[in-house]
C-alpha cells in the first residue's frame, strides 16, 4: 500500500510567550497551551493533499513522547490522518532517539514518503529528518516549499539561502517541510468526533528495540540578554542626525 508517514511533535504553542524558570531548570510549561509543531501540521497537510490527489492510500502519523502527546495525535486524526502510532517515551528525547524510533516504524510500515517538519519550535534542533534519512540510507529533501510526486521519484523545491533549489530524489525518501509548502486546514468539529474512533496504536521504545540514550546533558536555561531601551525621534531629519551621531552614517 502506498503510505505516507508523518512525524508529529507536541510543542508549546507558537503564540505563547516563553519564560525561563527562575532556577534555570527549564522553561515554564505548566498551564501553557500545547500544539502540534507548526511544521508538522504542514507535513500532515501535504500528506493529506497527496492522498486526496490519489498519490497515496494511507496517511499515518507518529510521535515519540509521553502520554499527553496523544492529544496532538487525536488532532492529527481529526485533520484527516487514517491511523496514529504513539511510541511511549518519557524524559528528553534527542533527535537521534526520535530518528531511531521512527526508523523502526518505517521498517514496519514501509512508507513511500516520510514527511517531518524542518524543525521543532521548542528545541529548534532541526535534525531529526536528516538523521532519519542517514540511518535509513535514503534521500533527504529538507526545507521543501514544493513537492511533486512521479512514479518512483519526487521533485522537491527547497528554500535555501541562495534562493530556491530543485532536487530530484528516488523514493522512498524523507522530506522536511518549510512554511510555504502549504497552509494547513482547520479541524472541523464533526471530524474531532470521528477521530475518536480512528485507530491509535501505542508502542514503547523498548518493544521497538530502541534504547533511549541522552548524549547531551541540559545544564542550564537562561533568558536571552535584553537590549538597551532606545530613543524615539520625531521625523526623518532627526533620524538621519541620530545615525550620524552614532557614527553609522
Residues forming the site for ligand FAD (CB under 6 A) = 14, 38, 121, 179
- Residue whose CB is less far from other proteins, 167 or 192: 167
- Residue whose CB is less far from ligand AMP, 68 or 235: 68
List 167, 184, 191, 192, residue binding other proteins (CB under 8 A): 167
Q: Is 142 in the site for ligand AMP (CB under 6 A)?
A: no
Q: Is 109 in the site for ligand AMP (CB under 6 A)?
A: no
Beta strand spans in 38-96 (E): 58-65, 83-88
How many Å is the maximal CA-CA distance in the chain?
A: 69
Closest C-alpha among 56, 39, 43 to residue 112: 56
- Residue whose CB is less far from ligand AMP, 112 or 175: 175
Pattern 127-156, binding to other proteins, x per CB under 8 A? xxxxxxxxx-xxxxxxx-x---------x-
Whether residue 171 contacts residue 164, with contact meaning beta carbons closer than 8 Å, is answered with no
What's the min distance (Å) between Cβ of 82 and ligand AMP? 17
Whether residue 48 contacts residue 65, with contact meaning beta carbons closer than 8 Å, is answered with no
Q: Is 119 in the site for ligand AMP (CB under 6 A)?
A: yes
From CA 194, how far away is CA 95, in angstroms rounded? 32
Whether residue 3 contacts residue 56, with contact meaning beta carbons closer than 8 Å, is answered with yes
How far does CA 163 lie from the centroid of its chain? 22
List 12, 56, 78, 98, residue binding ligand AMP (CB under 6 A): 98
From CA 61, how far away is CA 247, in angstroms rounded? 55
Using CB under 6 A, which of the segments 21-29, 47-55, 124-132, 183-191 binds ligand AMP? 124-132
- H or E stretch at 143: strand 140-149
Interface with other proteins in residues 210-229 (CB under 8 A): 215-224, 227-228
Given ligand AMP, ligand FAD, other proteins, none, residue 93, with its beta carbon under 5 to 8 Å by kind, binds ligand AMP
From CA 41, how far away is CA 33, in angstroms rounded? 16
Contacts to ligand AMP by CB under 6 A: 7-9, 37, 39-40, 43, 62-65, 93, 95, 98, 116-117, 119-120, 123, 125-129
Amino acid at each position: 500500500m502506498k503510505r505516507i508517514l508523518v512525524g508529529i511533535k507536541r510543542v508549546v504553542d507558537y503564540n505563547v510567550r516563553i519564560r525561563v524558570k527562575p532556577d534555570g531548570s527549564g522553561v515554564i510549561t505548566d498551564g501553557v497551551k500545547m500544539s502540534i509543531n507548526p511544521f508538522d501540521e504542514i507535513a500532515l497537510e501535504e500528506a493529506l493533499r497527496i492522498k486526496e490527489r490519489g498519490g497515496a492510500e494511507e496517511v499515518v502519523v507518529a510521535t515519540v513522547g509521553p502520554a499527553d502527546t496523544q492529544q496532538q495525535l487525536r488532532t492529527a486524526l481529526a485533520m484527516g490522518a487514517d491511523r496514529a502510532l504513539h511510541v511511549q517515551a518519557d524524559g528528553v528525547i534527542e533527535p537521534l532517539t526520535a530518528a531511531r524510533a521512527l526508523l523502526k516504524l518505517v521498517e514496519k510500515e514501509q512508507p513511500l514518503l516520510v514527511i517531518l517538519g524542518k524543525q521543532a519550535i521548542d528545541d529548534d534542533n532541526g535534525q531529526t529528518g536528516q538523521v532519519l534519512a542517514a540511518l535509513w540510507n535514503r534521500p533527504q529533501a529538507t526545507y521543501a516549499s514544493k513537492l511533486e510526486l512521479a512514479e518512483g521519484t519526487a521533485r522537491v523545491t527547497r528554500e535555501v539561502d541562495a534562493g530556491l533549489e530543485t532536487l530530484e530524489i528516488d523514493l522512498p525518501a524523507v522530506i522536511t517541510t518549510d512554511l510555504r509548502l502549504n497552509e494547513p486546514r482547520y479541524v472541523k468539529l464533526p471530524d474531532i468526533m470521528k477521530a475518536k474512533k480512528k485507530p491509535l496504536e501505542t508502542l514503547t521504545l523498548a518493544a521497538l528495540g530502541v534504547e533511549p540514550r541522552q548524549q547531551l546533558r541540559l545544564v542550564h536555561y537562561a533568558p536571552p540578554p535584553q537590549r538597551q531601551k532606545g530613543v524615539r525621534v520625531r521625523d526623518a531629519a532627526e533620524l538621519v542626525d541620530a545615525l550620524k551621531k552614532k557614527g553609522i552614517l
